Amino acid sequence: MRRLFALALAVVLCGAGVRAEAQVIPALPDIKSQGELTKAIATLDKELFDAYNSCDIDKLSTLVTDDLEFYHDKTGLAVGKQVFLNAIKNNICGKVTRKLVEGSLEVYPMHGYGAVEIGVHRFYHPGTQDRDGVGEAKFVHLWQYKDGAWKVSRVISYDHEAAK
């Protein structure tokens, strides 16, 4: 009986840990300062690009809106979550990874909507993160907070060039 209780307690505690981890990023109304907003968006950026870099399409799917608009200076406009996910699966997975350029992150509130994230990212061939990247670009992400979740609704990716 004690073992059964201990096992049940362990399951409950592990479940509580998972729920707590999933709530790391505060809801938009709970963010009270620029520092809190920047931390939240930096965490979301890491989550988004950890999924991108590891080709976790299921996770990526949870971080973008169904009506995602992705503006790219080289390939033009792509509309819709599935179009985005297919492009990642077919053109990115196993070929390219992304890293945020340190010190380039800017975050601004969008009252009643979410936040704007601006930065520079560098792209690498897998396994070459410590060497020069293969390319670099600037980006703007519009993060929407809706129905209890943060998701990217608009992306502008521009000024793509070979890494310096």
Q: Kindly list the distances between the CA atom of residue 29 and the CA atoms of 18, 44, 142, 148, in Å, as whole numbers in the listed order.
A: 23, 16, 17, 10
Per-residue pLDDT of the chain (164 residues; tens, 9 = 90+): 343 333 333 333 333 333 334 448 999 999 999 999 999 999 999 999 999 999 999 999 999 999 999 999 999 999 999 999 999 999 999 999 999 999 999 999 999 999 999 999 999 988 666 566 789 999 999 999 999 999 999 999 999 998 76
User: Residue 161: which of 145, 138, 139, 144 has the closest Cα?
Assistant: 138
Quick one: DSSP state of residue 33?
S
CA–CA dist 27, 39 (Å, integer): 12
Instruction: Report pLDDT for 162.
Output: 87
CATH architecture label of 31-161: Roll (3.10)
pTM: 0.82
Phi, psi of 151 (to 5 degrees): -145, 150
Instruction: Report pLDDT for 5.
Output: 31
Instruction: Report pLDDT for 155.
Output: 98
CA–CA dist 117, 105 (Å, integer): 7
CA–CA dist 161, 88 (Å, integer): 19
User: Residue 56: which of 83, 102, 88, 82 has the closest Cα?
Assistant: 88
